Amino acid sequence: MRLWRMIRATGRIAEPTPPRTASAPSAPRAPLGGSVQIRHVDAGSCNGCEVEIGAAFGPVYDAERYGARLVASPRHADALLVTGVVTRNMAEPLRRTYAAVPAPKRVVAVGDCARNCGVFAGAYGVAGAVGDIVPVDAEVPGCPPRPEAIVEAVRELTGR
Ligand code: SF4
pLDDT digits over 3-23, tens only? Answer: 888 888 888 788 877 777 755
Do the domain assignments include residue 27? no
Q: Which domain range does residue 111 map to?
A: 37-158
CB 134 within 8 A of CB 96: no
Inside any domain, residue 96? yes
Checking DSSP bridges between strand 79-83 and strand 86-87, what pairing results, if any?
A: unpaired
Express each pLDDT in 113-138 by its tens digit: 999 999 999 999 999 999 999 999 99
Higher pLDDT, 137 or 1: 137
CB-defined site of ligand 1, < 6 Å: 45-46, 48-49, 83-84, 111-113, 118-119, 143-144
Would you say residue 20 lies in a domain?
no
* Dihedral over Cα of 12, 14, 19, 20: its sign: negative
The answer to whether 130 and 136 are in contact (CB under 8 A) is yes
33 against 152, higher pLDDT = 152
Q: Which of 113, 115, 130, 146 to mutate to test the pocket of ligand 1 (most atoms within 8 A of CB)?
A: 113
Query: pLDDT at position 131, please?
Result: 95
| pLDDT score, position 6 | 87
Count: domains in the chain: 1
53 belongs to a structural domain: yes
CATH code at 79?
A: 3.40.50.12280
Q: Pick from 40, 53, 83, 146 the residue to mutate for probing ligand 1's pocket: most ligand atoms within 8 Å of its CB.
A: 83
Residue 19, burial from CB neighbour count under 10 angstroms (0-12, 13-18, 19+): exposed
Residue with CA nearest ligand 1 atom 5: 45
Atom number in ligand 1 closest to CA 112: 1
Q: Is residue 61 part of a domain?
A: yes
Residue 18 lies in a domain: no
Asked if the structure places residue 25 within a domain, the reply is: no
Q: What is the pLDDT of residues 59-102, one digit of tens each?
A: 999 999 999 999 999 999 999 999 999 999 999 999 999 999 99
Rounded distance from Cα 128 to ligand 1 centre (Å): 14
Atom 6 (ligand 1) nearest CA? 113
pTM reported for the whole predicted model: 0.88
Cβ-contact 86, 127 below 8 angstroms: yes
